[in-house]
Amino acid sequence: MKLIKSIIKPFKLEDVKDALSEIGVEGMTVIEAKGFGRQKGHTEIYRGSEYTIDFLPKVVIEIVVSDDLCDKVIDAISKAAKTEKIGDGKIFVLPVEQAVRIRTGEQGDEAL
Amino acid sequence: MKTLTCLKTFLAITIFLGISSISFAETNDANGSGANDSDQVAGSKIDAVNQAELSKQLEETAKEGIAAGNTAWMITATALVLFMTLPGLAMFYGGLVQSKNVLSVLMHCFAIACLASIIWVTVGYSLALTPGGLEDEARGWIGGKGQFFLEGLLEGQNEENGFPTSVWIIFQMTFAIITPALIVGAFVERIKFSAMLLFCALWLLVVYCPVCYWVWGGGWLAKAGVIDFAGGIVVHATAGASALTLAWMLGRRKGFPNSLKPPHNPGMVMIGASMLWVGWFGFNAGSAGAANGDAGMAMLVTHLSAATASLVWMFIEWKKTGKPGLVGIVTGTIAGLATITPASGAVGPMGAIIIGATAGIVCYFACGLIKEKLGIDDSLDVAAVHGVGGILGTLMVSYFGQTGVLGGQGISRHGEDGDGAYFTWTEQLTVQAQGCLAAIALSVVATYVIVKIVGALTGGIRVSEDDETKGLDQAAHGENGYSLN
């Protein structure tokens, strides 16, 4: 099982969700975040004073899938979230030790 | 598409209601004709007063000395000016601070409104607007204690313009409320609440009441022929100078000037500014003290100054930063309103446009000057907008208020009864400048002393660094502005 953690631009969330749906991934957790990488922030000016805004709004999507789906998921997310401009985001893959469905107690791949 | 369905439904309901009410109205008329006068007003709960009763009422009010029109307008103007503080100014300031401090700003404005009200009717009104000293030689510098606790105020006691003295008292009260509330902008996000309450109470007595007396209570400035129609000196200059002094003594916010947070709710700022604009019609037109041409002209010039200053500020910001901002344009509005305030009884519409344009330019650059050059964290630009604006208008009225200048209505005149020759504009300017300087001097010195006293009484007027970081909403008021989850 792998945890796939993707940081993407907020307006791409619907596209990514649809793309994942097409390959059979129906569940996900979405976290509103802010951050930056190479994409710099911007400056806002109010009444002559400058305010530097370093952080940009981002969205983090977390999904846990069985190992065989991993590559397909990474591919789907990448295609859907790409705008080819700086700030498109990153995908991280982490190993998952255990997964449990709370309602039924199922574990492992059955819990996904 | 849900929105479209909603809109269609709303439209359908509105049309249905419209048709229904028209048909019902017609039915009523058909039923009521001839039976009784009262039926003509469909759905009215009040019986139409018949002619005899009406005449009797008019007779009685004439005996009481009430001019109904003036009274109705002054009552309305009072409500408008209170609306400027609650919630106009509160929201204008509230949107400019960080979200963790929004409630504290609303709280300051609200608490000041309540506190100032009580102070006004106990001692303030008497000191500010009733003659001081012996009858024939009234003091020039502070009013008397004869009407402490509004002693001697009778129901049926009316002002010269035919409206009740009780209305005069509360109308002026709304000015005494908003003036300390303006100072809030200088000390947001870091002042101790108890210190703020004490400061405002003392400030009203030591600064507002005297200056009000000098200008509006028949004091020395009034005798010298100063023109301050609605409070360029009494309200804006005093608030601005005191704000600057207090901000300087209080110290800068953490993060000033390089890592400040932008206004948390520019929309709230605009809503507040809009309320201030509308309320200002009560502030300036109400200062005419009557429902007449003076009031109408005051309203017109007020509006034009606001509109012009807004546009000018917007264009300057557009040129300088590349984008015209909402916070900017509404700040321009307030600059225009503050500047026209002392001049609103004397200038004409075209003069008001020039005054507004000047306000937009001067106050725009004043903001940068105070924060960058002087390095004083007058957080919400009270001095740059209200202080500078009020003084600017007070001086400009000397020229633009003259008859024959762009529709000017007339400046002060020589002679005991004000029927002598008009002041020259330089003569007027001298008096205006004296008024400004005196008000500023008293504001600065008194603020300094009051802050020292209040600081000693409260163990320091500023909150701890931890509290400032946590935010005053939590730290001082135990509340959360936005509990969104």
Domain coordinates of chain B in residue numbers? 66-475
B245-297 per-position pLDDT tens digit: 999 999 999 999 888 899 999 999 999 999 999 999 999 999 999 999 999 99
pTM of the model: 0.87
Q: Work out how many domains chain A is built from and give that number.
A: 1
Of B268, B239, B258, B250, the C-alpha closest to B189 is: B250
Distance of CA B99 to the CA centre of its chain: 25
3-class secondary structure, A61: strand
Q: What topology is assigned to B66-475 in CATH?
A: Ammonium transporter fold (1.10.3430)
Residue of B96, B97, B98, B260 best to disrupt the A interface, most CBs of A under 10 A: B260
Contacts of B317 in chain A (CB under 8 A): 45
Distance, CA of B413 to CA of B292 (rounded, Å) = 22
Q: Is residue B219 within 8 Å of B130, Cβ to Cβ?
A: no
- Cβ atoms of B140 and B220 closer than 8 Å: yes
Residue type, B364: Y
Tell me the chain A residues in contact with residue B273 when contact means C-beta distances shorter than 8 Å.
Answer: none
**Helix residue ranges per DSSP H, B417-462:** 425-458
Model confidence at B26: pLDDT above 60: no
Mean pLDDT rounded to a whole number for chain B: 91
Q: What is the rounded CA–CA span in Å between residue B436 and residue B387? A: 10
Q: How far apart are CA B301 and CA B131, in angstroms?
A: 32
B134 CB-near residues (< 8 Å, 6+ apart)? none
CB proximity B267 to A under 8 Å: no
Cβ–Cβ contact A86 with B under 8 A: no
Model confidence at B54: pLDDT above 70: yes
Which chain A residues contact residue B263 at CB under 8 A? Answer: 46
Q: Using an 8 Å CB-CB cutoff, list chain B residues near A52.
A: 259
> CA B342, CA B333: separation in Å to the nearest integer?
16
Instruction: Report pLDDT digits (tens) over B116-145.
Output: 999 999 999 999 999 987 666 668 899 999
Mean pLDDT confidence for A81-94:
95
**Nearest residue of chain A to residue B360 (CA atoms):** A47
**Do residues B309 and B332 make contact, with C-beta atoms less than 8 angstroms apart?**
yes
Contact predicate B330/B310, CB 8 Å:
yes
* Domain range for A29: 2-111
Q: What is the CATH number of the domain that holds A92?
A: 3.30.70.120
- Split at pLDDT 50, 70, 90, the class of B52 is confident
Q: Does residue B202 register a pLDDT over 90? A: yes
Return the SS3 of B451.
Answer: helix
Q: Are B180 and B239 in contact (CB under 8 A)?
A: yes
Span A7-55, pLDDT tens digits: 999 999 999 999 999 999 989 999 999 999 888 888 899 988 888 888 9
Return the closest-CA partner of residue B328 out of A47, A86, A65, A2. Answer: A47
CB-CB: which of B257, B323, B381 is closest to A47? B381
Shortest alpha-carbon distance between residue B81 and chain A (Å): 26
Q: CB of A48 within 8 A of CB of B385?
A: no
Mean pLDDT in residue range B349-354: 98
Task: Using a CB–CB cutoff of 8 Å, tell me whether A43 touches chain B.
Answer: no
- Is the omega angle on the peptide bond into residue B324 within 30 degrees of 0, that is, cis? no
Question: The tokens of A88 are what?
Answer: 């498109």
Which B-chain residues 326-365 have CB contacts (< 8 A) with chain A? 327-328, 331, 364
In sequence order, what are the beta bridge partners of B163?
A: none
- Check residue B30 and give its pLDDT: 42
Neighbours of B25 (CB within 10 A): 12
Q: Is the pLDDT of residue B44 over 50?
A: no
